[in-house]
Structure 1
Amino acid sequence: MGSSPGLGTDLPAHVQELCTRAMEGAGVAMFVTGPRADEMPIVWVNAAFVRQTGFTAAEVVGRSPHVLETLLAEPVDAQELRAAIAEEREITHTVRALRRDGDTVWTQLSLSPLAGPDGSVTHWVGVQVDVSEHLERYAAQVASLALERRERAVLDVVSRSSDLLADLDQPYALRDITELLAGYVVDWAGFYLNDDGLRYAEGVDTAAPPTGRGQRHGRYTPGLFPLPTGAHATDALGDSAAVTGSVPRVRLVDVPDRVQDVLDGRIEGPVTLDLSATYPQWSASGWLQRDLHHRLSGLQERPGSVTVSAVPGRRRILGLLVTGDSGGSSGQGLGHGPDAEGRDGVRTLLQVIARRAGTAIDNVRLYAREHRLAETLQRAMLPEQADVTGLDVWTYYAPNSEHAQVGGDWYDVLQIAPDVVGLVIGDVVGHDVEAAAAMGQLRSVVRSYAYELTTPGPVLERVDQLVQGMRIPRSASLVYAALTQPDAEQPDDAWRIEYSRAGHLPPLLLRDGTVTQLDDAGGALVGFGGRSRSTGVATLAPGDTLVFYTDGLIERRDRALRVGLESLVAASAAVTAVDAAGVGEELLSRLADAPEDDVALVVVRIPDPVHDASAVVLSPRSRRWLLPSEPASIGRARHAVVRTCQAWGVRDSANAELVVSELVANGVLHGWGHLALRLFDTGDGIRVEVEDSNPAPPVPTDGHPNRMGGFGMQIVERLADWGWRPTASGKLVWAKLRPSDR
C-alpha cells in the first residue's frame, strides 16, 4: 500500500515506507478516512482491523464510514462520534461493537483529525483497542465490591434490628424495625401480630399469651359474618346454596387463603399477596388486603403486591412481616434492581429478621408472664395487718431493680391473740418464680404453726419437720418473734418479746441510744434444724424499738457482712425519730442508698407519750407505706398520718388526715394492686402521694344522685392543690395541703 496524501509528505521516502509498514503490522486495529467534505470514505485499514472486526479490506476500503456505525451496538455512541467530527476535535470513547459474525466486543475507539499544509482537515485516523478483557475484569471487581457492600449492608441491617429487638419493652420497637427496613431494603414494611386476630403492631403487647392460637380469619363460620354472595358463594357455601338460594346447614367450610395458611403453619412462606385480586371478606387475605390499601395510600408508588413472611414463635406463628416494593429502579436500597441474587439476599434477610423478631417477642412475653406471676405471688406475701393496738408498726419492702422486682424476702405481722402479736421476717435464696413460690409456702407454714403454738422455738421445730417433708427446693432463713402485751390490771407488767432464729441475722433492740443485738436462740437454716430450737426472751419498755431486717439492707460486695452489721448498729444508735416510720426512714437513708439485694425491714416501736412530746427529731421529713387494696387500709393510712404529724410537730393534722383518707379510699375503690402512700413535709405544707396500678385518672364528680358518695375529690380540692401523673405501673395522685397554722 502506498503513502496516502497528507501523511507525512515532507518525510523522506524510506521513512514514509517505514511508517506505512509499521502501521500495517501494528497489533492495534487502525483505519484512515478521507475528509468530511467527501463523506469520509475509508481509504486504508490494517491487518489488525481485519482480525478484530472480521471485515476484509476489500469490504470496507472506499466505502462510507456508515459501515462502521452499523457495528456500534449503542446509537448514542454514534451521536457522540458525529459531534466530535463536526467540531473537528479528537475523541476517545469506549463503545460496544459488533463483529461481522455477530459477537460483541468492547472497543476503545480513538479518532483524530489530520490537517494538510493549509491547516484544513484532510483525513481522520482511527485506532481501535479491544478492551473486553479489561472491562470484564473491571465488571467482576465491581460485582465483587457490590456483593461485599450488599453483605455489609445486610449485616448492618441485621445488627441494627437485633439492637432494636433487644429492647422490645419500648412501645414502638417494631415500628422502628420496619422504618429501618423501609429506608434500606424495601419501600414499605409492617408487622402484624395474631393476638386474637390480626392487628397492625408498632410494639409488643406483653400481656398477650405466649402460647395458644389467635383468631382464625380464613375459616367461615355461619352466623359470625354475612353470607357470601356472587362469584364466591359457590366456593364457600356449596353448589346447592348458590342454585336454590337456600340457607346452608351450619358447618365450617375451607376457602383458599394462603395468608391464613402461613398463620396456621401449613406452609412456610413467604407468599405473595396480590393487592388487586379479590378475596373473601372474612379471610385473612381479604382483611390484610383491605388494611394495606389504607396504609399504603400515602406512598407515591404503591406496590401491586406484597410479600408476606411468617413471624414464628416457639409453638406457633405469632404474626406476619409484610413488605412491599414498587420495583422502581431509582431506589438505592438492597431490594431494588433486577439482580436476582440481590432479591434472594433480601428475601433471606427478611426471613432472618422475622425469625429473630418471633423469638424476641416470645421471650419478652414469657419473661413478662413469669414476672407478673412472681410479683403477684410476692405481693400476696405482704401482711394484711400492719396496725396493732398499743404498738407503732412500720414495714418496708424494696426489690433490687436488677432482679425485675422478684425476690425471696418477706415479712409478716400477725395478731395471734388479743394480747399476742407475731412478727416474721425471712429470706429465700433466689430471685425468680421458684423463690417466690417457696416464700409463699414458708409463709403459710409459719402462719399455721404460729397460731397453733405461739412460742417461737416449738413453732420453728414444727416448721423444720414440715419443710423437710415438703422438700422445698430453696434454702431459707427467718426470725419468728412473739410480742406479749402487758396486762392492763398489772401496772408493773411490761411488753415481752420471745424469739427464735433460723439462720437469720439477729433483730436489734434500740433503747435510749443503746443498741442490743438479740442474738440468742440461734439455729440452722429452715429445714436443717436437727435439734430442738431454743427461745430467747427480752423485756421491753416504752420508747423501745425493735428492728427486723434482711441482709439486703447491709450486704455489699466490697465489705464483709460483719462490717455491714456494725454499720447498722452504728446507724441505729444515732436514730432520733420517735415513730416507727421515722426510724425506718433514718435507717434507709443511711444504709440503703444503693442496695445490691432485696431489702425488707420491719420496725416496731412501743410509744412513750411522756418523752416523745419533748424529743428532738432529726429524721427525714418524709414517710412511705405500702398498703393492701382493702377498706381496712383507709383507717391504717389515717393512723399513719396522725402519728407522722405528731412526730413532725404538726399541731393540726385533721386536714392531712382527711385528704389521705379520701385519696386512699379512691385508690381502694377504683384502683387495683397494692397502694403506695407517701408523705412529705415541704416546709410550707404537707404533700401526699398515693400510687396504684390503675392508669385511669381520678375525676371529680358532683356526687351520685339519690345515694351517698362521689364527693371525695371535691373534698380534696377544697383542702389542697392536687394533680396526677402516669407511672410505669399505673398512676400517682398527689395533693399539696394549703398552709395553715402549724
Structure 2
Amino acid sequence: MADPLPAPPAGPGAGWRQDAQHRATVPLACRLPDPAALAALADRLPAAVLALDPAGRLTWLNAAAARLLGGTAAGLTGRPLDDGVPGATGHVLAQACSEAAATGEPVTVAAGDGWYEVRALPGPEGLAVTVTDVTARRAVQEQADRAAARATLLVRVSGELSGALDGVSALGRLARLVVPVLTDGCVVTVVDREGRARDVGSWHADPERRELLARYTRVRLERMSPSSPVAQALRAGTPLTTCVADVLEDMTDEDAREMLRGLRAESVVVLPLPAESRTVGVLTLYLDAGRTLSEADLATARAVAVQAGRAVDRVGRQSRQIQLAEALQRSLLTDPPSFPGLEVAVRYLPAAEAARVGGDWYDAFSSPTGDPVVAIGDVVGHDTAAAATMGQLRGLLRGIAHARGAGPAEVLHGLDEAMADMHPETLATAAVARLEDGGRRLRWANAGHPPPVLLLPGGRVVALDHGDPIGDLALGVDATAERRESAVALVPGTTVLLHTDGLVERRGSTLDADTARLHDVLAGLAGRPLPQLCDELLARLVPGPPEDDVALLAVRVGAG
C-alpha cells in the first residue's frame, strides 16, 4: 500500500492547496534549479545559444556559441556580438540576428566554414538567439537541387535538339542551357563535312563577361595551336581537362591571350560531340576558381555532348536527304518548251517543313496536233513517296495525252482509269488545258483542283470553274466519273494561271477569302512582265517559308 500523502500545513499561505475533484494535494511551486546546473545543461546543447542586451552586447552564451565565436564565455560576455570586422563570424551573425528579429523568420547565413540558421526572439532585455549548424542539411539540399537541375537540363536539351531542322542554330542556343548548371562559361563548336571547325555559340553566367567571351569565340579557333585542348579533342575524339594557365602558356597570339585572361577562368573542360563515325564538334566549358565538375556533373555534360553530336549527325543526314529529294523533284519539273505566240513561266517552292518535297507538279508539252497542253496537279501527301508518285502520274498524263490526242476531259478520265489499276491507293487533283487556234481559245477540264484563273489585259480576273466553284471529283475517287470540259475565248494579252493550293490556302482562313486575296493581288499585277508577275505573286501571297508546296504555271497569249 502506498504511503499516505502528508497532511497539509495549517494556516493561510502554507504553500499547499486542496484539489476538490481528486481530493489530492499538490505543491503550489517547485524549487528553481541551480544556475550552475542550468549552465552545464546549456553547454551540452549542440546549438549555439546566446543572449544580447539592447545595445547588442553578449550577456550570456553557452559553450557552443563560444566555440563558434572563437573565444570563451568569460572573455566574450559584455562584448558586442558585431566585432566590426566585415565577413567575420560575429559580424555575419549580428546582421542575421537583426534580420531575424525584424522579420520573425529564421535566417540562414554562411559563417566560417559552415552554414547556420539564426533565430532571434526580441524582449525587453534584448534578444534571445539560437544558432544551429545546418551545413550538412544544406549540402543534402544542394545535392538534391543540383540533381534536379541536371535532370531538367537533359530534358531541355533533348527538347531543343530532338526536333531541330537547323542543327547549327540549335547548338548555338545550347551554350545558354548548360550555363550555369554545369559551368560558368561555354562555347559550342561544330565541324562540317569538310572538316572545318567553327564556333556557333557562347554564353557566360556573368553578364559582364559575355561580350568578352563572344569576342574570344570569334578568334580563338584560328589562333589556337595544334596542341590546344580543343584541337586535341577534335582530333582524338576524347575529353580533356586542364588549367587555363597551361592553355595561356601554349598560346602565341597576345590578343587572344589577353581575352582569355580577362575571362578569369581557372580550368577548362573540352568534351567531344560524337557521331557514328566521327567527332562533329566539341563543348568547351570554362570554370571559375573554386568550381569543379563533380562526377555527376561530368556525366551530365557527357550526356549533353552525346545528344548534341547525334543532333548534328541527324540534321546532316536529313539535310543531304532533303537536298537529294528536292533535286530529284526539280529534275522532274522540267523547263517548259517554247510555243509560237505564247510566253510560259513556271515556279516551284518546296514546303519549309517535313521533307520539303511533295506531290505538286506542273507540265507543258505539245499535243500530236501541235496544240500546246499545260497541266498542273497535286498528289496527296508531303513526302518523298508523294514526290515519286507525282513523277509517275505526270508521265502517265503525258503519255495518255500524246497517244490519244484527246481533249483535257478525256485525258483526265484516262489518267483516273490508269490510277485505279496502277496506283489504287493514290489520291490527286489536276487541271489540264489545251490552247487551240494559235492561243485564241482555251479548252480545259478540272479534277478537284483549284480552278485556272484568267487575268485579262484590263486587270479583270476570271476563275474558270464551270460555274461550280467546288469542281469535279479528284482523281482516285471514282474512275468511272464523267469529266466536264469547257472552252473560253482568249484575247491577246490574257494571262492564264494554273496553281496548286499552297499558293493561296492559309490556316485559319476560308476558301472564299483565299480566292479573293489571289484575285486582288493578281489584278494589281496586270501589265507586269510575266516572270515579274510570277515572282511578285509568290512574294505577296507566300511572304515567308511556305507551309505547303507551291507550284504555278502561267501562260500569256499574244507574246513572241
Q: What is the match of residue 501 of structure 2?
A: 551
Paired with 1:157 and 1:292, the residues of 2 have a C-alpha distance of 34
From 486, 499, 503, give the equivalent of 2:444. Answer: 499
- What letter matches 1:139 in structure 2? T
C-alpha displacement at 1:426, in angstroms? Answer: 1.0
Q: What is the match of residue 7 of structure 2?
A: none
Q: What is the match of residue 515 of structure 1?
A: 462
Paired with 1:377 and 1:360, the residues of 2 have a C-alpha distance of 25
Q: What is the match of residue 372 of structure 1?
A: 323
C-alpha displacement at 1:425, in angstroms? Answer: 0.9
Q: What is the match of residue 20 of structure 2?
A: none
C-alpha displacement at 1:416, in angstroms? Answer: 4.6
Q: Give the 3-state SS of the residue equivalent to 2:34 in structure 1.
A: helix
From 182, 186, 189, give the equivalent of 1:185. Answer: 182
- What letter matches 1:397 in structure 2? Y
Partners of 1:579 and 1:605 within 8 A in 2: no
**How big is each residue's C-alpha offset from its partner over 1:221-273, in whole Å with a ceiling of 9 and x where there is no partner?**
xxxxxxxxxxxxxxxxxxxxxxxxxxxxxxxxxxxxx999996xxxxxxx775
- What letter matches 2:450 in structure 1? L
Partners of 1:454 and 1:482 within 8 A in 2: no
Partners of 1:392 and 1:604 within 8 A in 2: yes
C-alpha displacement at 1:555, in angstroms? Answer: 3.2
**How big is each residue's C-alpha offset from its partner over 1:591-610, in whole Å with a ceiling of 9 and x where there is no partner?**
666886444332322228xx
C-alpha displacement at 1:391, in angstroms? Answer: 0.9
- What letter matches 1:468 in structure 2? A
Q: What is the match of residue 477 of structure 1?
A: 429
Partners of 1:374 and 1:432 within 8 A in 2: no
Partners of 2:453 and 2:462 within 8 A in 1: yes
Q: What is the match of residue 451 of structure 1?
A: 402
Is 1:22 equivalent to 2:19 in the alignment? no
- What letter matches 1:440 in structure 2? G
Partners of 1:385 and 1:415 within 8 A in 2: no
Pair 301,452 (structure 1): closer, same or farther in 2 beyond 3 Å: same
Pair 517,344 (structure 1): closer, same or farther in 2 beyond 3 Å: same
From 123, 138, 142, give the equivalent of 2:138. Answer: 142
Alignment of 1:324-723 (within 5 A): 330-331=289-290, 333=291, 335=292, 343-385=294-336, 387-399=338-350, 401=352, 405-416=356-367, 419-455=370-406, 456-471=408-423, 474-486=426-438, 495-509=440-454, 513=460, 515=462, 517=464, 519=466, 523-531=472-480, 533=483, 535-562=485-512, 564-565=514-515, 576-577=526-527, 580-581=530-531, 597-607=548-558
Q: Give the 3-state SS of the residue equivalent to 2:386 in structure 1.
A: helix
Between the aligned residues of both structures, percent identity stands at 28
Paired with 1:191 and 1:571, the residues of 2 have a C-alpha distance of 45
Q: Give the 3-state SS of the residue equivalent to 2:340 in structure 1.
A: coil
- What letter matches 1:26 in structure 2? L
Partners of 2:346 and 2:552 within 8 A in 1: yes
Pair 391,275 (structure 1): closer, same or farther in 2 beyond 3 Å: same
Q: Name structure 2 gaps, 5 residues minimum.
A: 1-32, 47-62, 84-88, 91-113, 117-129, 202-231
C-alpha displacement at 1:404, in angstroms? Answer: 7.4
Partners of 1:275 and 1:306 within 8 A in 2: yes
Paired with 2:484 and 2:522, the residues of 1 have a C-alpha distance of 27
Pair 169,523 (structure 1): closer, same or farther in 2 beyond 3 Å: closer
Pair 589,292 (structure 1): closer, same or farther in 2 beyond 3 Å: same
Q: Give the 3-state SS of the residue equivalent to 2:402 in structure 1.
A: helix
Pair 416,158 (structure 1): closer, same or farther in 2 beyond 3 Å: same
C-alpha displacement at 1:346, in angstroms? Answer: 0.5
C-alpha displacement at 1:588, in angstroms? Answer: 6.2
Paired with 1:182 and 1:600, the residues of 2 have a C-alpha distance of 45
Partners of 1:510 and 1:516 within 8 A in 2: no
Partners of 1:272 and 1:308 within 8 A in 2: yes
Q: Supply the RMSD in Å over aligned alpha carbons.
A: 5.5
From 188, 197, 202, give the equivalent of 2:199. Answer: 202
Q: Give the 3-state SS of the residue equivalent to 1:141 in structure 2.
A: helix
Paired with 2:248 and 2:169, the residues of 1 have a C-alpha distance of 19
Paired with 1:322 and 1:514, the residues of 2 have a C-alpha distance of 58
C-alpha displacement at 1:535, in angstroms? Answer: 4.5
Paired with 1:461 and 1:324, the residues of 2 have a C-alpha distance of 66
- What letter matches 2:442 in structure 1? I
TM-score (norm 2): 0.57
Paired with 1:325 and 1:587, the residues of 2 have a C-alpha distance of 51
- 352-361 or 145-154: bigger deviation: 145-154
Give the number of aligned pairs: 424
Q: Give the 3-state SS of the residue equivalent to 2:334 in structure 1.
A: coil
Pair 82,603 (structure 1): closer, same or farther in 2 beyond 3 Å: same
Q: Give the 3-state SS of the residue equivalent to 2:377 in structure 1.
A: strand
C-alpha displacement at 1:372, in angstroms? Answer: 1.9
Paired with 1:574 and 1:380, the residues of 2 have a C-alpha distance of 32
Q: Name structure 1 gaps, 5 residues minimum.
A: 1-20, 31-47, 53-70, 96-105, 109-130, 205-257, 264-270, 277-288, 337-342, 487-493, 609-638, 640-742
Alignment of 1:260-339 (within 5 A): 298=260, 311=273, 319=280, 330-331=289-290, 333=291, 335=292
- What letter matches 1:495 in structure 2? R
- What letter matches 2:429 in structure 1? S
Pair 152,274 (structure 1): closer, same or farther in 2 beyond 3 Å: closer
Paired with 2:465 and 2:249, the residues of 1 have a C-alpha distance of 71
C-alpha displacement at 1:390, in angstroms? Answer: 0.6
- 140-149 or 418-427: bigger deviation: 140-149
Paired with 2:444 and 2:554, the residues of 1 have a C-alpha distance of 15
Q: What is the match of residue 618 of structure 1?
A: none
Pair 553,151 (structure 1): closer, same or farther in 2 beyond 3 Å: same
TM-score (norm 1): 0.45
Partners of 1:500 and 1:520 within 8 A in 2: no
Paired with 1:323 and 1:606, the residues of 2 have a C-alpha distance of 63
Partners of 1:392 and 1:579 within 8 A in 2: no
Q: What is the match of residue 13 of structure 1?
A: none
Pair 260,291 (structure 1): closer, same or farther in 2 beyond 3 Å: farther
Q: Give the 3-state SS of the residue equivalent to 2:333 in structure 1.
A: coil
Pair 319,544 (structure 1): closer, same or farther in 2 beyond 3 Å: closer
Paired with 1:197 and 1:586, the residues of 2 have a C-alpha distance of 38
- What letter matches 2:199 in structure 1? E
C-alpha displacement at 1:423, in angstroms? Answer: 0.3
C-alpha displacement at 1:584, in angstroms? Answer: 5.1
Q: What is the match of residue 737 of structure 1?
A: none
Partners of 1:194 and 1:319 within 8 A in 2: yes
Pair 147,365 (structure 1): closer, same or farther in 2 beyond 3 Å: same
Pair 561,88 (structure 1): closer, same or farther in 2 beyond 3 Å: closer
Partners of 1:397 and 1:600 within 8 A in 2: yes
Paired with 1:175 and 1:543, the residues of 2 have a C-alpha distance of 52
- What letter matches 1:361 in structure 2? V
Pair 557,587 (structure 1): closer, same or farther in 2 beyond 3 Å: same
Paired with 1:292 and 1:444, the residues of 2 have a C-alpha distance of 68
In our comparison, the structure showing a higher alpha carbon Rg is 1
Q: Give the 3-state SS of the residue equivalent to 1:28 in structure 2.
A: helix
**How big is each residue's C-alpha offset from its partner over 1:598-653, in whole Å with a ceiling of 9 and x where there is no partner?**
44332322228xxxxxxxxxxxxxxxxxxxxxxxxxxxxxx8xxxxxxxxxxxxxx
Paired with 2:307 and 2:155, the residues of 1 have a C-alpha distance of 11
